[in-house]
Amino acid sequence: MKLYILGALTCLVLLAACAKQESATPPAASSYLDYTGRSDVLSGGVRMIPIHTPKGDFRVWTKRIGNNPTSKVLLLHGGPAATHEYFEAFDSFFPAAGIEYYYYDQLGSHYSDQPDEDELWQIPRFVEEVEQVRQALGLDKNNFYLLGHSWGGILATEYALKYQEHLKGLVISNMMSSIPAYNEYANKVLMPAMDQAVLAKVKALEVAGRTEEPQYMELLIPSFYEQHLLRLPAAQWPDPVNRGFAHLNRKVYVMMQGPSEMGASGRLLEWDRTADLSKIAVPTLVIGATHDTMDPAYMQMMAGKVQKGRYLLCPNGSHMAMYDDQQIYFDGLIKFVRDVDAGR
C-alpha cells in the first residue's frame, strides 16, 4: 500500500512538472495559425482601433500574427512617429517560436490617423493610448508582454510605471531611462569619435535651422547612422527599415526627439525615470548593444534597478540590433518570453 501511494505521488509530481514545462512549449503550428473564430480573420489580423483623446476620437492600426494564449507581445516602435515596419524582422523568428505578436502604429504614424494637433504629442497621452489598445486587443497579465524599442522603450517604461498590473513581462530595447544621460553619452563618447570636420558641418546646419535640407542626412548617415544606428552601408539597409524611415512623420519626430538620432533636443529633453525603475516589479528584459546610440553600461545598470531584471548585450549590434546582431537579439528575447512563461 505504501509503495502504491508513493508511486501515485511520484506520478503527480512528474505530471505537474510536465505541465509546467508544457506551458513554455510553443503551440503546434496548426493551432498557432488557426484564426478560426477570431474577429480579425477577414482583414488578415488587421484592426483599426478607436482611440479617445482630449482632441477627439481617432483610429490606430494594429495587426495580429499567430495564436498563443500565454504569450502575446505588443510591439512599440520608435521615433516618435516612425512605423511598425522596421519590426518586420520579427516575422523570421516569432512564428517559429510560437509567440503571438502585434504590430501597431501609434497615433501620428503612417498607418494610423495623423491629426494635426500639437497637444497630442505628450508622453501621458501616448500612455493612455497604449492602455486603450491593450483593452481593445484583450491582453492581460496572463499573456501580455510589452516590447518598446527606442522611443517605444520610453513609452513602455512609462506604461509599466502606471499600468504594470496588466503586464506579464516588459522588454526595454535600446533605450536608456534618462534623456540627459543619453545626451551626455552622445556628447562625451559618440561625437568625439566622429570625423570632427563632418561634426562641425552637422552642428552648423543645426544652429542655422537647416536640418530639413538633404545635406544634413547626407552627412549624418555615413558618419553616424552607419556606425550607431544600423551597422551596414545604407545601400544595404533592409527594406523594412527603409520603409519605416521613409514613412516617418517628421513633424512629430522633430517636435519630440529633435532633428536626428544624435542626441535629443525636443519635448523629451528632460525625461528621466531612472530613479523610478525600482518600482517596476514585473519580469523585465533590458536589451543593449555595444555600438548603440545608447550607453550599454547604463542599460546594464537599468536591468539591475528593476525588481526582476535581466540584461541582454548584443556585442556586434547598434541601435537596430534586431538587424545587425539579429541572432543574439532574438535568441535572448525568445528565451526571456519562454522563461517567464515557465515561471523561471
* 292 given a catalytic annotation: yes
Whole-number Å distance between alpha carbons of 213 and 98: 44
- The active-site residue out of 71, 112, 150, 178 is 150
CB-based contact 279:167 (threshold 8 Å): no
Q: Which of 110, 291, 319, 341 is catalytic?
A: 319
Question: Is 325 among the catalytic positions?
Answer: no
Q: Which of 105, 292, 295, 341 is catalytic?
A: 292
The separation between CA 168 and the C-alpha centre of its own chain, rounded to angstroms, equals 15
- Residue by residue, DSSP assigns 246-308 as HT--HHHHHHHT-SSSSS--STTTT-B-GGGGGG--S-EEEEEETTSSS-HHHHHHHHHHSTT
Tell me, yes or no, if 150 is annotated catalytic: yes
What crossing angle do the helices spanning 123-137 and 151-163 adopt, rounded to 10°? 70
- Tell me whether the omega of the peptide bond preceding residue 80 falls within 30 degrees of 0, making it cis: yes
The answer for residues whose C-beta is within 8 angstroms of residue 264's C-beta and 6 or more apart is 179, 182, 183, 257, 258
Where in the sequence numbering do the catalytic residues fall?
150, 292, 319
